[in-house]
Amino acid sequence: MNKITREDKLLKVLILFLAGLVLYRASNEFHAIAWGTGKWWGEFSLTWGVLYYLFVVFSVLVFSLTIFFVWNKKLFVPIGECIITIRQRMGNFRWLLWLALLVAPVWFFQYTAWGVAFQKLYIRILIWIIIVCLLTILSSRQNQLAGWNEFLASLIVTASIFSIFASLNYVNNYPFSLGWSEGNRLWDYSILFGRDVYIYPADMDIPVFLDLGRRIIGGVPFIFSGVTIATARLWVALTLIFPYWLLGIVLFRAEFKNKVSWLLLVLWTFLFLKQGPIHAPLVIAATMVALAWRAPLWVAIPLLFGAGYLTESSRFTWVFAPGIWIIMLEFASAPFSKGKNDSTLWKRSIILGVLGLFGGLLLPTMIRRSAVSILSPQPVAPLSAEVIPTSEPLKTAATTVPEPTATVTAFSTPSAIATAEPAPSNNYFDFVVEQVSDQPFLWYRLLPNSTYGSGILLALLLAIVPLIVFLIYLSAKKIWPLSGLQKLALIIPLLAFLAVGLVASTKIGGGGDLHNMDMFLIGILFVGALAWQNGGREWITNGRNIHPIMKVVIVALIINSSSITSLFEMRSYTHAEDISWLSTLTDAPFKSTLEMLPTQSETESAIQTIQQEADKAKSQGEVLFIDQRQLLTFGYITEIPLVPEYEKKVLMNQALSSNADYFQPYYADLVAKRFSLIITEPLRTPIQDSSYQFGEENNAWVKWVANPTLCYYEPLETLKNVRVQLLVPKQGEVDCSAELP
């Protein structure tokens, strides 16, 4: 038995194993849904019992057909010819059917109550497989039943549709926060262009805990008056989609003549980077670098300046990225002749790399100094003395973060806790050391843990191994020839990005996803684009010449963690009226575990309660919104002056840094009963260890915020349905010395 035959049989066994696993697990999941619905047979109702046994018969039939198809395709030749004939007779109607099949799972999972009942992973994977097979057959041409390229296209398109609609999942007009900091992040976005909606002195700055780059991008809707919370959420969702598309459009612009191939590459770029996910400013900066690649110098230079400035104004760890990326792209795409580099491209790579670093390290400082000298000719304090938050280090201001108390917020996925930083000092490296050492590292989060089940290392391997195998194969087979220097020009920067990402991911407040691997993921994407344009295109589209094992690798490039996560996340949160029968089908121990949004009447009642209590309190003191500041932003709560201090994310960041100096004024204000009413999330005080999700972050919050606040203030009312607590000062003198850190 030769090697190819053995590997072909191994591939067949793998296919059968995966098919059997998916069908078996899907049957078990269907049983869990159907069981407990009645007493017709065991705990089956008549309807669900019949449906379950039909599903079992269907699963057995599908597995049997898969066995015959994999081991003896000749048996299916007559059936295949019949299907091809039917497809040809359908004409253009097959494309309408193709579109209907593409949309059907999205509608079922995300826009019907059944999506909640069938929020089981293997059932969804089975449906995805069936849809991909049908789309492949419908889109294949001539006498081919199912083409390789059509199969890959169907995988990419379906995975992209799932990811797009999963990103749009939280676009609604629900006035309260959909995650730990989601509402307050909308408040952050509003300040740059929409601060006039707040009752606050016009001549005073409102400090915002967010970098300028993200404030500009997220704040676009607030340029227009009367923006609604649904519109703002839609814009935020679109910033998780369009920047990725834009990067793919620019990076693979050489494919423009082949529109279908170009579109699929754009969608694959989106899927690959969504594994982070990666914040829009860095993706836009990467797009500017991609535009500069192979562009005339008069175009490339300003683009690199702009990319450097954008990264510096967004996160200090990004400042080196544009310069390094452009060197990777330019140098690795330089032609070689007789073992020597083209000197012109050598020089171009170095020049653009240096200019990219200049744009990130020096240009922003020069601009700030020029602005200061124009506005204030007298001597000024050095930039290092600034304390206004301007950008975020190491961690992301995610809209989905865990409750820092006992449980994870409804409607959220664990991610990282937001932080911000002061402007860099003149000594950049001292500033980096200061920021890196400011908060503790939790190295165990590199491995599987309660905060991030797979751990950073395993999740990263799952995300990048297929692409790395693909790149190594192309290089080893000389499909993509590279010199030793070119390989080093790609490997060394990637290792540097990897090191930075791993360190950042272990800082307290992080490690909940791969967003800190952002520079590394974009860097390896650039390497993938280089490989595609230097031999990868011809190899990957010719299915007959691809090794069977490499076909598995190519499929794994598409079916990544972003695809699976999005498939699982699609569901509706607006079917509170169906919660009773959904609780039965999902075996939910409590209705709250279904994470349905409150009904309209419950929401309106909560708003009315907050407004009434705020109106009463404002005559006795200030009303502080630690949380839920978006209620002021979008006019749900009116006529209440803004108190910008002590915002939730700022408190958390200072708690993670154990910054006692920051909290002294806060505690003094609590003692003085400065605030007649505080609006916050429900405060709890349990201490947790690392076996709990974000346990260390919870403990910091409890120590520095929850315990002191609940010592001086007490709950007036807790609105559990909307996760809001109203606190008022305790009467009389209170001794909280034992509760203060």
In this predicted structure, what is the pLDDT of residue 343?
65
In this predicted structure, what is the pLDDT of residue 143?
84
The Cβ of residue 654 has, within 10 Å, a number of other Cβ atoms equal to: 20
Angle at 40 between CA 36 and CA 42, to 5 degrees: 55
The amino acid at residue 257 is K
What are φ and ψ of residue 627, in 5° steps?
Answer: -125, 170
567-597 burial: b if 16+ Cβ within 10 Å, else e: bbbbbbbebbebbeebbbbbeeeeeeebebb
Alpha-carbon distance of 306 to 330, in angstroms, equals 18
Alpha-carbon distance of 196 to 192, in angstroms, equals 10
184: closest CA among 614, 634, 613? Answer: 634
361: closest CA among 397, 423, 308? Answer: 308
Alpha-carbon distance of 544 to 4, in angstroms, equals 13
Assign residue 658 a region: left if phi > 0, alpha if psi is -120 to 50, beta otherwise?
left
Alpha-carbon distance of 678 to 627, in angstroms, equals 9
Alpha-carbon distance of 649 to 639, in angstroms, equals 24
Q: Are strands 675-680 and 622-625 parallel, antiparallel or unpaired?
A: parallel
- Residue 725 pairs with which residues in a beta bridge? 680, 718
Report how many helices (DSSP H) and strands (DSSP E) the chain contains, helices first.
31, 6
Question: What would the two tokens of residue 496 be?
Answer: 């540097």
- Residue 421 pairs with which residues in a beta bridge? 391
What are φ and ψ of residue 178, in 5° steps?
Answer: -95, 5
Query: What is the SS3 assignment for 678-719?
Result: EEECCCCCCCCCCCCCCHHHHHHHHHHHHHHHHHHEEEEEEE
Question: What would the two tokens of residue 139 be?
Answer: 């889109």
- Per DSSP, the three-state class of 204 is coil
Asked if 422 and 381 count as a contact pair (C-beta separation under 8 A), the reply is no
Question: What would the two tokens of residue 722 be?
Answer: 């909307």
In this predicted structure, what is the pLDDT of residue 166?
93
Asked if 710 and 678 count as a contact pair (C-beta separation under 8 A), the reply is no
Residues of the chain with pLDDT under 50: 1, 337-340, 372, 375-425
195-231 burial: b if 16+ Cβ within 10 Å, else e: bebbebeeeeeeebbbbbbbbbbbbbbbeeeebebeb
| Residue extents of the structural domains in the chain | 3-171+567-586, 242-541
Question: What would the two tokens of residue 331 be?
Answer: 């140098």
Question: What would the two tokens of residue 155 be?
Answer: 């995988």
CA separation, residue 191 to residues 156, 220, 223, 228, 555 (Å): 38, 11, 10, 15, 44
In this predicted structure, what is the pLDDT of residue 654?
94
pLDDT digits (tens, 9 = 90+) for 423-440: 444 555 565 666 666 678
CA torsion, ordered 629, 634, 635, 639, to nearest 10 deg? 40
568: closest CA among 396, 451, 413, 455? Answer: 413
CA separation, residue 410 to residues 336, 375, 592, 722, 725 (Å): 56, 47, 8, 10, 16
241-258 burial: b if 16+ Cβ within 10 Å, else e: bebbbbbbbbbbeebeee
Beta strands in 578-632, from DSSP E residues, in sequence order: 622-625
Question: What would the two tokens of residue 54 be?
Answer: 């039909």
Alpha-carbon distance of 641 to 319, in angstroms, equals 38
In this predicted structure, what is the pLDDT of residue 382?
34
Segment (H or E) for 724: strand 724-729
- Residue 281 pairs with which residues in a beta bridge? none
In this predicted structure, what is the pLDDT of residue 312?
83
159: closest CA among 557, 573, 572, 571? Answer: 557
Question: What would the two tokens of residue 210 be?
Answer: 């967010």
Beta strands in 317-370, from DSSP E residues, in sequence order: 336-337, 340-341
Asked if 288 and 310 count as a contact pair (C-beta separation under 8 A), the reply is yes
How buried is 335 (Cβ within 10 angstroms: 0-12 exposed, 13-18 middle, 19+ buried)?
Answer: exposed
In this predicted structure, what is the pLDDT of residue 432?
61
Alpha-carbon distance of 704 to 208, in angstroms, equals 21
Alpha-carbon distance of 419 to 421, in angstroms, equals 7
pTM of the model: 0.87
- Residue 679 pairs with which residues in a beta bridge? 625, 726
In this predicted structure, what is the pLDDT of residue 417?
40
- Per DSSP, the three-state class of 421 is strand
